[in-house]
Amino acid sequence: MVKLSVLDQSPVRAGGNPREALAETIALAQGAERLGYTRYWLAEHHGTEGFAGSSPEILVARVAAATDRIRVGSGGVMLSHYSPLKVAENFKLLENLYPGRIDLGIGRAPGSDGLTAAALAYGNEIGIEYFPTKIADMMAFLSDEAPASEPFKAVRATPAISEMPQVWLLGSSDQSAAYAAHFGLAYTFAHFITPQAITPILDYYRANFKASSSLAEPKTSAGVYVICADSKEEAEYLASSRDFWRMKLQFGQHLPYPSPEEALAYDYNAQEKRIVEANRANRFTGDPESLKTELTAFAEENGLDELVILTITYDFEKRMRSYELLADAFDLNRSKEAA
């Protein structure tokens, strides 16, 4: 049976505010633990009115404190912006606070527009071309080894840890898969961003994987956008918010999440309709049984034993309900007891 986990972008609804969004993140994490989900990941976004989660490491600490058993991690920290030493220290500290429960997911995308990315890297002259070196240094700092960067050979990250956080590389391209394979990291493909190329990219990762001190064999999951409701019709109604929001995003508008009523009342022109239709290729919507069939087939087709579920609806109750229905369909609590 495929494992299910949660990716939370801490969405802000139209008419709502970031404080409400973050309170919903805590409530959703507690619900996910109760329902039997494997892990709970917090995303990183900047310069947008639509998401409140600009600092996943802070949210990881808050969510881990509000839960007892579920693994908690970043999905992910955009390592291109930051010092590998500081990222390693943050997650070593988290591992000491919540031993055996912490995941460190990293990504190379900016998680923002170009100007905001430049502001995040203010004073840092190291460009994206150094991303592989940053991965090598971060892994060395985590494992108490000498980093690859010669000037920092004598530097060690503190505090010490008895167990490494699970490290995942998140991506949606063959480049990210190549990095994950080369450094021997677990790999999560962001299907909710780029659905078309998942099979060859995962095949490439597995074929080129090099065992590392943190991972002996290739390990994969996929981030998928899912809305589960009591009927296909209701799920499509709820998904209309996402259709509208993603269409506006492609025109550079980083908006709060709209209601289905607002989305359905919008007068789409021909170009916008084509964008909406194209974006529907990377979402799963339906009732519990149909989604169980679709998601299981998707996981089997791509050799995945875990799916990281991203669900956003305008109403938080509907969002929570979607995760509840999915957990029931996959019988998550019973699966965890059996494991």
CA atoms within 13 A on the CB side of 305: 5
Please give the average per-residue pLDDT across 282-295, as a whole number. Answer: 97
Please give the average per-residue pLDDT across 27-48, as a whole number. Answer: 96
Q: Which residues pair with 187 in a beta bridge?
A: 169, 220
Nearest to 306 by CA among 282, 338, 336: 336
> What's the CA gap between 108 and 78, in Å, rounded?
6
Q: Which residues of 157-184 are buried (b: 16+ CB within 10 A; e: fewer)?
A: beeebeebbbbbbbbbbeebbbbbbbbb
Let me know: does 224 contact 295? Beta carbons within 8 Å. yes
Q: How many CB atoms lie within 10 A of CB 19?
A: 10
Q: Can you state the angle between helices 84-97 and 56-66, rounded to 10 degrees? A: 0
Helices (H) and strands (E) in the chain, counts: 13, 10
204-260 pLDDT, tens digit each:
999 999 999 999 999 999 999 999 999 999 999 999 999 999 999 999 999 999 999
Predicted pLDDT at 70: 98
pLDDT confidence band for 80 (50 / 70 / 90)? confident
89-133 pLDDT, tens digit each:
999 999 999 999 999 999 987 655 667 767 766 556 566 678 899
Predicted pLDDT at 271: 97
123-159 pLDDT, tens digit each:
565 666 788 999 999 999 999 999 989 899 999 999 9
61-75 pLDDT, tens digit each:
999 999 999 999 999
> At which residue do the structure tokens 């063959």 appear?
174
Predicted pLDDT at 206: 97
Q: Can you state the angle between helices 270-279 and 232-249, rounded to 10 degrees? A: 120
Query: Quick one: what percent of the chain has pLDDT higher than 90?
Result: 83
Predicted pLDDT at 338: 60
Mean pLDDT for the chain overall: 93
In this structure, CATH architecture of domain 3-230+284-338 = Alpha-Beta Barrel (3.20)
> What's the CA gap between 338 and 328, in Å, rounded?
15
